[in-house]
Amino acid sequence: MSLKKKLMEILFDVFDMISFLVFVGGIVLFIRFFVANPYTVVGASMYPAFEENDFIVVDKITPRFGEIKRGDVIVFVPPWKTIPYIKRVIGLPWETVKIQDDNVLICKIDKDVENCEKLDQSYLPDDVETEARCGLTEFKIVSWLFVMWDNRWFSTDSRCCFGLDCYDGSSYEVPFDHIIWKVYIRFFPKFWLF
């Protein structure tokens, strides 16, 4: 075999390997930017469902084209903030969330009568109590979402306008266009499919 033919075979193999890597890289980048994204949980705010440094995969399609339901865990950037938060959806548009006697009530108006039901929080330990924060016990959701941490004693959420003063016009609602991802899979320390 001539040196020229051997060199051509090597170049063809290198080109073939580079083409394969570009193709695979393109698929990975497409999935990463348009379908799903890895994310690491920072802090203990979603304990016990999520722990510090849990590795999660988040679905980027549902917030754009699908339905977000009560109980879903989402990653979003709150109004007037720049850092992504992870929270659980509690209240939906046209509902009122009330905090009474360490419970969360979801209230809806039906034929001019307000009907309230205690929120099923089976994802929380039995001893978790929800207290009012920042002097507010009632939240009327007009257009977007009301969210809370699972670790109700640890940090701030929609109950206190994400650490801002709700009385200064800050919103406790999360606008849909601020939602980045819906949590789909948790890998560490335990595998969990939502």
Q: Which are the catalytic amino acids?
A: 45, 87
Q: Where are the alpha helices (DSSP H) in 61-183?
A: 62-65
Mapped onto helix, strand or coil, the DSSP state of residue 6 is helix
- Cα(178)–Cα(147) distance, integer angstroms: 13
- Cα(181)–Cα(35) distance, integer angstroms: 10
Residue type, 87: K
What is the maximum span of the chain, computed from C-alpha positions, in angstroms? 90
Of 82, 84, 83, 58, nearest in space to 72 by CA: 58
For residue 117, what is the enclosing H or E element? strand 113-118
- Tokens 């339901």 — which residue? 69
- Cα(162)–Cα(159) distance, integer angstroms: 8
- Joined together, the tokens standing for residue 98 give 């009330």
